[in-house]
């Protein structure tokens, strides 16, 4: 009899930890995602293909676009200059305070900086990089062939299990989606 492929890869505990004692309702996470998608305004560019890019739940004080402020990268890719500190993203989007995302935000056992909705389409891959902080992931939609890859060779699949997986993104890593469906994660950069 064939055994099922495990959803959690054997991995160095220095690379991934799961927040203990916090089990989120996956159905409510999916519902909150759809509420977000229904409410997000058109992109400033006016192009329909940009509407669902750079989606954030938190923002900085006085943000011109609280829906997309957290979608920006922490570093300027050309110069390497730091654009902001994670702790600046101390405000949750008022238009989403009636969603499960806000309930999750209030329950977190850590202080989040940027909270974002990140989609990785079929066949997409990120370049190998390091982040300035660890990043927590909650899978909203995924497939077994969507993984994080560490330079050490370890790969890790974040399942849609309602748990918060904190990845040590201070280490060199990438993410890829070799599956046929989109991978959608709620990511939360640890501000502390």
pTM above 0.85, yes or no: yes
pLDDT at 43 over 90: no
Domain contains 60: no
Confidence of residue 131 (pLDDT cuts 50, 70, 90): confident
Number of domains in the chain: 1
| 109 located within any domain | yes
The tens digit of pLDDT for each residue in 59-103 reads 999 999 999 999 877 777 677 777 888 999 999 999 999 999 999
Residue 1 lies in a domain: no
Would residue 102 count as lying in a domain? yes
- Half-sphere exposure in the Cβ direction for 50 (13 Å, CA): 9
> What percent of the chain shows pLDDT beyond 90?
71
Q: Is 173 domain-assigned? A: yes
Q: Is residue 52 part of a domain?
A: no
95 in any annotated domain: yes
pLDDT (tens digit, 9 = 90+) per residue, 138-147? 999 999 999 9
Give the structural domain span for 149. 16-39+69-190
The domain spanning residue 23 has which CATH number? 2.60.120.620
Segment 21-39 shows an average pLDDT of 96
Cα–Cα distance between 145 and 157 in angstroms, integer? 8
Q: Is 126 left (phi over 0), alpha (psi -120 to 50) or beta?
A: beta
Q: Within a domain: residue 61?
A: no
């Amino acid at each position: 009899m064939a055994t099922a492929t495990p959803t959690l890869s054997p991995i160095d505990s220095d690379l991934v930890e799961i927040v203990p004692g916090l089990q989120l309702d996956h159905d409510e996470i999916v519902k909150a995602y759809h509420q977000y998608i229904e409410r997000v305004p058109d992109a400033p560019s006016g192009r329909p293909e940009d509407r669902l890019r750079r989606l954030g739940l938190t923002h900085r004080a006085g943000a011109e676009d609280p829906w997309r402020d957290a979608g920006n990268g922490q570093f300027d890719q050309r110069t390497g200059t730091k654009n902001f500190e994670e702790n600046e993203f101390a405000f949750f989007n008022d238009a989403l305070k009636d969603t499960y995302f806000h309930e999750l935000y209030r329950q977190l056992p850590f202080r989040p900086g940027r909270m974002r909705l990140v989609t990785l389409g079929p066949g997409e891959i990120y370049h190998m990089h390091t982040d300035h902080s660890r990043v927590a992931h909650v899978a909203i939609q995924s497939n077994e062939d969507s993984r994080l890859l560490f330079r050490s060779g370890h790969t890790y699949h974040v399942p849609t299990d309602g748990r918060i997986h904190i990845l040590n993104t201070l280490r060199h890593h990438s993410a890829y989606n070799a599956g046929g469906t989109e991978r959608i994660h709620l990511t939360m950069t640890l501000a502390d």
